[in-house]
């Protein structure tokens, strides 16, 4: 593969899942420096992680928050290895159907590199994506048409529900330029830039903790036709939804319970 760039999502706001806070902001990331990207219970996301190699570059994205967007840059520091949290019955993302002999879930380690000088809000990327094919938004003329095009093709704007995504080299380059240059009008509030040491508002901000469950689903239907997620082989990508969530190692061993995924508890109501 010639893809060495990725985008991974994390939630900067507190949200309790099975008794544990899944918050993992850019500040948290910078503090721990390196963190295992555990908890992904989505085949497509997992497969993408399996493709990652040490040294690959990644975009750290703030999701499910007031200002979603790219907050920092990171690097893959450890190739995919079994996600041990899947075997821990006390973990929110415990998966009873997998074991150490035949790991189902994997994770990589990501190491924080630097903050995006200019936080890149999703709204900006969307604005670019919505711009005419032959025009570059005036305030972003410096990225050029090619830059615009690369953004328009990002999974971030074309799909959205994937917690781990591939990023093309051109999109990566464009993001770099945007982050360094800034200059757009709509950069309203942004989470980054920790002002003075005490900025870590740990105040419990409750986001809309509706009822996000843990992992997503189980089977991973694949558009192509390969629906086998497992097989140690090199599966491509299946598709399933991704989950994003990350948390710093420190609070990992909380101990909770609750499995994940909603297998078949669905009360189906059918006519007649």
Residues that bind DNA (CB under 7 A): 9, 63-66, 68, 122-123, 126, 159-163, 206-208, 210-213, 215-221, 239-244, 262-272
Q: How far is the CB of 123 from DNA (least distance, A)?
A: 5
What's the sign of the alpha-carbon dihedral 151, 15, 259, 261?
negative
String of DSSP letters for 212-244 = --SS--S----SSS-----SSS-----------
Q: Which of 264, 244, 272, 211 is nearest to 38 (CA)?
A: 244
**In contact, 143 and 136? CB cutoff 8 Å:** yes
d(C-alpha 93, C-alpha 89), whole Å:
8
By CB atoms closer than 10 A (0-12, 13-18, 19+), residue 22 is: buried
Closer residue to DNA in complex, CB, 20/239? 239
Q: How far is the CB of 55 from DNA (least distance, A)?
A: 25
Closer residue to DNA in complex, CB, 79/127? 127
Closer residue to DNA in complex, CB, 40/136? 40
Closer residue to DNA in complex, CB, 111/207? 207
Q: How far is the CB of 151 from DNA (least distance, A)?
A: 14
Q: How far is the CB of 236 from DNA (least distance, A)?
A: 14
- DSSP bridge partners of 82: 106
Q: How far is the CB of 159 from DNA (least distance, A)?
A: 6
Contacts of 48 (CB under 8 A, 6+ apart): 6, 164, 165, 166, 237
Closer residue to DNA in complex, CB, 177/258? 258
Tokens 């994003």 belong to 244
DSSP code of 194? -
Q: How far is the CB of 165 from DNA (least distance, A)?
A: 9
Closer residue to DNA in complex, CB, 198/227? 227
């Amino acid at each position: 593969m010639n893809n060495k760039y990725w985008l991974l999502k994390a939630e900067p706001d507190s949200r309790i899942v099975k008794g544990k806070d899944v918050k993992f902001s850019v500040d948290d990331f910078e503090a721990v420096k390196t963190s295992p990207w555990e908890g992904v219970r989505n085949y497509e996301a997992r497969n993408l992680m399996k493709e990652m190699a040490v040294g690959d570059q990644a975009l750290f994205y703030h999701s499910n928050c007031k200002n979603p967007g790219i907050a920092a840059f990171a690097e893959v520091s450890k190739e995919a290895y079994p996600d041990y949290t899947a075997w821990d019955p006390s973990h929110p993302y415990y998966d009873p159907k997998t074991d150490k002999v035949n790991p189902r879930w994997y994770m990589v380690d990501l190491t924080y590199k630097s903050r995006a000088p200019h936080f890149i809000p999703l709204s900006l990327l969307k604005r670019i994506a919505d711009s005419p094919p032959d025009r570059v938004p005036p305030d972003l003329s410096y990225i050029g048409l090619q830059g615009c095009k690369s953004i328009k093709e990002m999974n971030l704007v074309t799909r959205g529900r994937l917690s781990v995504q591939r990023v093309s080299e051109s999109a990566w380059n464009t993001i770099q330029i945007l982050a360094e240059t800034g200059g757009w009008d709509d950069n309203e509030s942004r989470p980054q830039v920790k002002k003075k040491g005490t900025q870590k508002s740990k105040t419990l901000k409750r986001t809309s903790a509706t009822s996000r469950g843990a992992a997503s689903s189980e089977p991973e239907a694949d558009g192509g036709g390969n629906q086998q997620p497992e097989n140690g082989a090199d599966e491509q990508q299946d598709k399933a939804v991704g989950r994003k969530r990350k948390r710093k190692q420190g609070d990992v061993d909380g101990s909770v319970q609750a499995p994940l995924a909603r297998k078949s508890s669905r009360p189906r109501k059918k006519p007649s």
